[in-house]
Amino acid sequence: MSRRTAAVVAACALLGAMPASVHGHTPAPNRGRRRFYLGADISFLDVPAPPGHPRPGYREHGAPSDEMSILERHGWTAFRLRVFVSPVRQAPDNSLANTIQLARRIKATGALLLLDIHYSDTWADPQHQEIPVAWRGLSLPALENQVETYSRNTIRALKDAGAMPDWVQVGNEITRGMLWPVGQVAIPGSDQYLPPTPYDSVAQWAHLTGLLEAGIRGVREGAGSTPPRIAIHIDRGGDWATTKWFFDHLEAAHVPYDIIAESFYPPWKHGTLAQLRLTMHRSAERFHKDFLVAETGYGPSHVPYNPDMQWPITPNGRLAFMVDLVNTVERAPRGIGVMYWAPETDLWNADGTPGPAVFTLDHLGH
C-alpha cells in the first residue's frame, strides 16, 4: 500500500467514525482576503430527474426538506443555473421561463446566483457547441447581434423578475469555442473536435472573441446599473498550457471579463490537485483574475487507468475529495469558490438524507 493510499484509507476511517449528521457548519476560512463560496449547480431542480438518477424525498433530522435548503443550512452559499435558448431540444427544459422561477428562489434566500448562458438550445460543452436551430443561417454580424440581443433580453427578464444574477457565464465550457463552426477554434496538439478545413486560426479567434464581446455587451446592457461579474468558462482546471493558450487569446483581443471559471473533474482525467494549484498560481500571475472551479464532481470513473482518481469512490471518499479541493482552491491565489455539478445525483443517501459531502465545511481542518 502506497503512503498516499494509506493516508486516504486512514482519513476515510476517521470520517466514517464521524456522525452522519452535524448541526451547523464551520465557515470556510477567509484569511482576510476575499469571500469564498461553496456552491452547486442545481439546474435539474424543478425539471424531470435525469435518467437513472431518480431524486429522493429529501429529509434531515427526520423532517421533510429540500435540497437547496439543506445545502444552505450547511454553508453552501452560491448556486448556478443554466439557461438554454427556447425551444429547448434534447435536454432538460432549462428555458428562461423555468430558470426565472428557480432564480427567484435562490435570490430570496440571499445566496449568490451564477447564471450559465449556454448560447444553444441543447447541451453546450467541449464536445458540442451547437448553434440554436432558430439562429442557423445567420451571417457573422447577424449572429453577433443575435447573441447581444438574447443576452440583453435574458438578463433584463431576470432583473425585472427580482432575480438579477450576481455572476454571469458567457458560454459554457468553451475551450474549443462556441456556436460551432462559426466560433470554433482548435486546441494546439489536439486531434479531437476539429473545425472544418481549411482552418484559419486568426479568423476563427476573431469570430470567437467577437461573439464573446457581443454576449458581454448584452449582459451589461440588460443589467443596467447593477452589472454582474463576467465569468469565462473552460474545462481545463488541471491543464495550465491550454488555460494559458485560451486566455492569452482573450487578453490579446481585450475581451473584458472578471473571473476565470474552470471545470475540474478527476473522474474525467482533468488533472491532480497539484496541477490545479499550478494553473491557479500561474493564472493569478499572468491574468490577475479571480479563479472559480465552476464545475466539479466525484462519481465512478469514466476514464480507465486514471491516476487522477486518488480518493475512494465512496460517500466518504467524495467528502475527502471535496475537503481537499476546497482547501486547495481557497488557499491558492485568487481562488473564490467551488461549485459541485448536479449534487442530487450523488451527494445524498438513498433515503434522502444528506450524505457526508454536504458537510464539507465542517471537515476542512481534518
Distance of CA 309 to the CA centre of its chain: 20
Known catalytic membership, residue 213: no
Instruction: Give the list of residues 6+ apart from residue 243 with CB closer than 8 angstroms, or none.
Output: 234, 236, 260, 262, 279, 282, 283
The secondary structure of 298-361 as a DSSP string is --S-SSSS-TT--S-SSHHHHHHHHHHHHHHHHHSTTEEEEEEE-GGGTSB-TTSSB-GGGGGG
Which of the residues 130, 295, 330, 344 is marked catalytic? 295
List, in sequence order, every beta strand (DSSP E) within the chain: 37-41, 59-60, 63-64, 78-83, 112-117, 167-170, 177-178, 183-184, 229-234, 259-264, 290-296, 335-341
The stretches of 74-200 forming alpha helices (DSSP H) are: 96-109, 140-160
Q: In which region does residue 110 sit, left (phi positive, over 0), alpha (psi from -120 to 50) or beta (all else)?
A: left
Known catalytic membership, residue 221: no
Distance of CA 328 to the CA centre of its chain: 17
Neighbours of 113 (CB within 10 A): 24
Helix%, strand%, coil% for the chain, nearest 5: 40, 15, 45
Cis peptide before 198 (omega within 30 of 0): yes
Neighbours of 226 (CB within 10 A): 11
Distance of CA 227 to the CA centre of its chain: 20
Which of the residues 130, 144, 148, 173 is marked catalytic? 173
Rounded CA-CA distance 324/296 in Å is 12
Please identify every residue annotated as catalytic.
Answer: 173, 295
